[in-house]
């Protein structure tokens, strides 16, 4: 089943190209209520609605370092810190945007805007301190996450060995296009992933390359405590612009269109727009760090 949030925050489930509205105030409330919601009887054609970010979680566990190939590409460009397993921080949920929403290029803050395709998990129920054997029962669904990153800010932050501002600026957290429930994905550890910029392939890999399983990742961070509807990401694959020998030519620019695709889930598409286009005024003065 595909679960969607649409128009003014309505919740529904997809049946072919039709959305059946569910009687629940939000997607988070849907999971908090044990995934029980009756149909309202109203239906909508997919082409006639505007899809929103499928869920705004209470907590977004942003993890990294789960693909060895991403660490290896970082070493080829002498990145300041290794991309090792078990990196985690909390993402800014106010920066979440949905499918077809614009990623706003804050040119007063960065000149190095990057992309990172990730598979993310929606947690179906509250829990803490559980094992990897128990973790499967906490998987409520799968979404696509594009981890937008200002690499120049990240490099400055990582002088202290930590980072989060570079990834949490407004509009830097595209997710969607919907939540796909586990019954539609027999093996989440064998999904083709591909990110394209203006149709050009940039990241091409498979979730089978994960160093640790989804269940291990979920269980590992369970001491932090999950709420129903929380999101946890699983790291990105190789092919990011910032770890390329010719990074400057690959960074995102206004006018670009980014498509993040994961097999059996769908395509998360977002345009990149200038500050002027988004806000109707020129960008503020350049920030000096």
| Token pair of 270 as six digits | 């977002």
Token pair 């998360």 is found at 268
d(CA 141, CA 128): 18
Strand partners, 257: 271
CA 106 vs. chain centroid, Å, equals 19
Task: Assign domain 56-279 to its CATH superfamily.
Answer: Fumarylacetoacetase-like, C-terminal domain (3.90.850.10)
Is the pTM of the predicted complex or chain greater than 0.75? yes
Asked if residues 93 and 170 have their Cβ atoms less than 8 Å apart, the reply is no
d(CA 73, CA 93): 29
Kindly report, as residue ranges, where domains of CATH 2.30.30.370 are found in the chain.
Answer: 1-52
d(CA 222, CA 14): 31
pLDDT tens track, the chain, 289 positions: 999 999 999 999 999 999 999 999 999 999 999 999 999 999 999 999 999 999 999 999 999 889 888 768 877 766 666 777 898 999 999 999 999 999 999 999 999 999 999 999 999 999 999 999 999 999 999 999 999 999 999 989 888 877 889 999 999 999 999 999 999 999 999 999 999 999 999 999 999 999 999 999 999 999 999 999 999 999 999 999 998 889 999 999 999 999 999 999 999 999 999 999 999 999 999 987 7
d(CA 208, CA 83): 18
* Of 31, 25, 4, 3, the residue nearest 127 (C-alpha): 31
> How do strand 257-262 and strand 192-197 relate by DSSP bridges?
antiparallel
d(CA 59, CA 54): 14
Kindly report, as residue ranges, where domains of CATH 3.90.850.10 are found in the chain.
Answer: 56-279
CATH of domain 1-52: 2.30.30.370
């Amino acid at each position: 089943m595909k679960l969607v949030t649409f128009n003014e925050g309505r919740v529904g489930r997809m049946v072919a190209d039709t959305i059946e509205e569910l009687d629940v105030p939000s997607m988070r409330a849907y999971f908090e209520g044990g995934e029980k919601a009756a149909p309202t009887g109203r239906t909508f054609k997919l082409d006639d609605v505007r899809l929103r970010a499928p869920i705004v979680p209470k907590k977004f566990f942003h993890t990294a370092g789960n693909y060895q190939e991403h660490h290896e590409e970082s070493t080829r460009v002498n990145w300041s810190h290794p991309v090792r397993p078990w990196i985690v921080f909390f993402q800014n949920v106010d920066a979440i945007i949905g499918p077809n929403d614009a990623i706003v290029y804050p040119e007063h803050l960065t000149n190095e805007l990057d992309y990172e395709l990730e598979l993310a998990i929606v947690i179906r129920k509250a829990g803490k301190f559980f094992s990897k054997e128990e973790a499967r029962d906490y998987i409520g669904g799968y979404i696509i996450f594009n981890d937008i990153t200002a690499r120049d800010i990240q490099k400055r932050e990582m002088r202290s060995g930590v980072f989060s501002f570079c990834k949490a600026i407004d509009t830097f957290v595209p997710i969607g296009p919907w939540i796909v429930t586990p019954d539609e994905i027999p093996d989440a550890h064998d999904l083709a992933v591909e990110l394209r910029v203006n149709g050009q392939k940039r990241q091409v890999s498979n979730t089978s390359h994960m160093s640790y399983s989804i269940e291990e990742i979920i269980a590992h961070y369970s001491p932090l405590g999950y709420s129903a509807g929380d999101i946890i990401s699983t790291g990105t694959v190789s092919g990011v612009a910032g770890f390329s020998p010719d990074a400057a030519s690959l960074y995102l620019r206004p006018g670009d269109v980014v498509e993040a695709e994961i097999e059996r889930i769908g395509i998360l598409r977002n345009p990149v727009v200038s500050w002027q286009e988004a806000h109707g005024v020129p960008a503020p003065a350049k920030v000096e760090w």
